């Protein structure tokens, strides 16, 4: 083997797959390299809540035997992958960051897990989440707090916290997160990753959000997405090529796309008309976030020949409407039973479960959602894409559910712009792509939003931006220090 273990762990998933296909490295060698990285960094980062090392080794050996026999290999053959702990895995504990599910072992895989396994992926384990996924953080009552690899005193984001920390440090190049309000895009922004929320229905969901037997896990049905979080656009395209497409278990699932996910990222992207909004009309956006995302938007004009216009959709007053939709989609009866047993602690979820919701609360929220959808399709008639920050702020301190202040102004719940959640309402494709770093060394993400079902445009634009402003070579110090120690 010509590559060192450190080299292999730092490769993209597509590069690891190519090594295996061309027999430059075996699945066992690739898995061993990633496990070595996990052994070195996991005690500090706590990205995994359940590490399935034994299963990974067995899967890798089987994958190696298939290579040696000359079997036809799937697109992920022998490549290690992690799975967010809200996504069901047959025979592997799925706690969902909850005391209520601390010992829960699903009897079936989620559809994305089925499809990833069928494509040859090697399971590394489950990554840590916020309690039941109801928060943008990585701490709960059942696992150690996930640390941000760029600054261990900060959150990795959420609820796909562990997935982000794992991929950002080469503890597996491929992962699946889930996104009901920004839980793929937010952690990707905080960790210098590419995170793709494909159009609603592109990636089928079951049993999560579609199986009434599991309170809490079966939530957010009309806004939830599962999506890849990776260090390259190509890796996300690779994962999506494997898992998209209809399934009878998800009534919302879409027919196969009329484009090739890996092919479209190689197509030319120039001359598009693009809107850029620095704030969606909300005043509380961190000054460095504004500066970095504006600079990233300028790449589309200066390097990619696009017309970039500063413009903002005129959204209706949303208030608590998004939270009302979340609670409407949640199993209130089941989770209230958990609350009575002291099994839920996340404050805004406790408040939501204690509130006496009415049918009018939910119907009024849905009217605002419908109005928002209408605003967006009318706005997008003028533009091929919309750019914005992913988050109004960089990663914040542990122990909080959001920053204490932005630009010196105290921040309360609901004060931050709905940069990500609005596109869970509309179902539009939206990605987070690295936009640079603050003076404190914290990553910031640019959001790229497409028209209804135009995932191809988002992927094409993301790949073009990656080529113009690459980031794959930039690693957090915790990784570079590891490499330096090995070389010494």
Spatial separation of the C-alpha atoms in residues 278 and 201, rounded to whole Å: 28
Tokens at 87, concatenated = 């996504």
Helices H / strands E in the chain, number of each: 17, 15
- Residue 458 sits in a domain whose CATH number is 3.90.1300.10
Spatial separation of the C-alpha atoms in residues 214 and 98, rounded to whole Å: 12
Cα angle, residue 103 at apex, residues 188 and 225 outer, rounded to 5°: 30
Residue with tokens 């204690």: 354
Q: How many domains are contained in the chain?
A: 1
Per-residue pLDDT, 2: 58
Torsion angle of alpha carbons 103, 109, 111, 112, nearest 10°? 80
Q: Which of 81, 74, 88 is nearest to 118 (CA)?
A: 74
Torsion angle of alpha carbons 450, 453, 459, 462, nearest 10°? 10
Spatial separation of the C-alpha atoms in residues 444 and 68, rounded to whole Å: 44
Please, are residues 393 and 282 in contact by the beta-carbon 8 Å criterion? no
Please, are residues 162 and 48 in contact by the beta-carbon 8 Å criterion? yes
In this structure, are strands 151-155 and 122-127 parallel, antiparallel, or unpaired? unpaired
Instruction: Please report the DSSP string for 351-384 in residue order.
Output: HHHHS---HHHHHHHHHHHHHHHHHHHHHHTS-S
In this structure, are strands 151-155 and 174-179 parallel, antiparallel, or unpaired? unpaired
pLDDT in tens, the chain (488 residues): 458 888 999 999 999 999 999 999 999 999 999 999 999 999 999 999 999 999 999 999 999 999 999 999 999 999 999 999 999 999 999 999 999 999 999 999 999 999 999 999 999 999 999 999 999 999 999 999 999 999 999 999 999 999 999 999 999 999 999 999 999 999 999 999 999 999 999 999 999 877 788 777 767 999 999 999 999 999 999 999 999 999 999 999 999 999 999 999 999 999 999 999 999 999 999 999 999 999 999 999 999 999 999 999 999 999 899 999 999 999 999 999 999 999 999 999 999 999 999 999 999 999 999 999 999 999 999 999 999 999 999 999 999 999 999 999 999 877 889 999 999 999 999 999 999 999 999 999 999 999 999 999 999 999 999 999 999 999 999 999 997 887 76
Catalytic residues: 84, 159, 183
Query: In Å, how far from its chain's centre is CA 91?
Result: 24
Please, are residues 19 and 147 in contact by the beta-carbon 8 Å criterion? no
Strand order in the sheet with 385-389: 48-51, 122-127, 80-84, 174-179, 225-230, 194-197, 430-437, 443-450, 385-389, 273-276, 307-310
- Is cis: bond before 19, omega within 30 of 0? no
- Is cis: bond before 48, omega within 30 of 0? no
Show the domain range for 120: 5-487
Per-residue pLDDT, 414: 72
Instruction: Please report the DSSP string for 22-66 in residue order.
Output: TTSS-HHHHHHHHHHHHHHHHHHH--EEEE-HHHHHHHHHHHHHH
pLDDT digits (tens, 9 = 90+) for 439-466: 999 999 999 999 999 999 999 999 999 9
Beta-strand runs (E) in 172-325: 174-179, 194-197, 225-230, 273-276, 307-310
Q: Which of 372, 408, 483 is nearest to 9 (CA)?
A: 483
pLDDT digits (tens, 9 = 90+) for 20-68: 999 999 999 999 999 999 999 999 999 999 999 999 999 999 999 999 9
Instruction: Kindly give, in sequence order, each residue whose CB lies less than 8 Å from that of residue 446, ignoring residues fewer than 6 positions away.
Output: 292, 293, 296, 297, 387, 388, 389, 390, 432, 433, 434, 435, 465
Cα–Cα distance list, 115 to 120, 160, 246, 322 (Å): 9, 20, 12, 31
Residue with tokens 């707090």: 145
């Amino acid at each position: 083997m010509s590559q060192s273990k450190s080299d292999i762990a730092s490769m993209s998933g597509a590069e690891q797959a190519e090594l295996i296909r061309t027999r430059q490295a075996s699945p066992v060698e690739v898995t061993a390299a990633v496990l070595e990285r996990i052994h070195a960094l996991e005690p500090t980062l706590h990205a995994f809540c359940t590490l399935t090392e034994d299963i990974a080794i067995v899967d890798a050996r089987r994958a190696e035997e298939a290579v040696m026999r000359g079997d036809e290999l799937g697109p992920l053959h022998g490549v290690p992958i992690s799975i967010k702990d809200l996504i069901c895995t047959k025979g592997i504990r799925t706690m969902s960051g909850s005391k209520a599910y601390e010992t829960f072992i699903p009897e079936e895989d989620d559809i994305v897990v089925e499809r990833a396994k069928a494509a040859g992926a090697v399971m590394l384990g489950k990554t840590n989440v916020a309690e039941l996924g109801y928060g943008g953080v990585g701490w709960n009552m059942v696992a150690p707090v996930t640390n941000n690899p760029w600054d261990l005193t900060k959150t990795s984001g959420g609820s796909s916290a562990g997935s982000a920390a794992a991929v950002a440090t080469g503890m597996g190049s491929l992962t699946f997160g889930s996104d009901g309000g920004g839980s793929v895009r937010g952690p990707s922004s905080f960790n210098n990753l590419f995170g793709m929320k494909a159009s609603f229905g592109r990636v089928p969901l079951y049993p999560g959000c579609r199986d009434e037997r599991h309170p809490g896990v079966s939530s957010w049905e009309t806004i939830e997405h599962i999506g890849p979080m990776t260090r390259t656009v190509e890796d996300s395209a690779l994962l999506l090529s494997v898992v998209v497409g209809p399934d009878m278990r998800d009534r919302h699932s879409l027919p196969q796309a009329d484009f090739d996910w890996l092919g479209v990222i190689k197509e030319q992207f120039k001359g598009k008309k693009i809107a850029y909004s620095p704030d969606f009309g909300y005043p509380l956006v961190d000054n460095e976030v504004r500066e970095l995302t504006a600079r990233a938007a300028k790449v589309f004009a200066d390097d990619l020949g696009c017309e970039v216009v500063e413009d903002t959709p005129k959204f209706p007053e949303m208030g608590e409407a998004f939270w009302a939709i979340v609670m409407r989609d949640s199993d209130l009866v089941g989770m209230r039973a958990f609350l009575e047993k002291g099994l839920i602690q996340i404050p805004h979820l406790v408040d939501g479960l204690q509130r006496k919701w009415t049918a009018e609360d939910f119907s009024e929220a849905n009217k605002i959602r419908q109005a928002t959808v209408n605003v967006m399709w009318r706005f997008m008639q003028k533009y091929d894409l919309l750019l914005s920050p992913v988050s109004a702020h960089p990663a914040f301190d542990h122990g909080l559910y959001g920053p204490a202040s932005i630009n010196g102004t105290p921040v309360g719940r609901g004060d931050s712009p709905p940069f990500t959640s609005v596109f869970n309402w509309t179902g539009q494709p939206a990605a987070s792509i690295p936009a640079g770093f603050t003076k404190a060394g914290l990553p910031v993400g640019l959001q790229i939003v497409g028209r209804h079902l135009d995932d191809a445009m988002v992927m094409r634009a993301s790949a073009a931006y990656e080529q113009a402003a690459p980031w794959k070579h930039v690693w957090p110090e915790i990784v570079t220090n590891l490499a330096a120690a090995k070389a010494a």
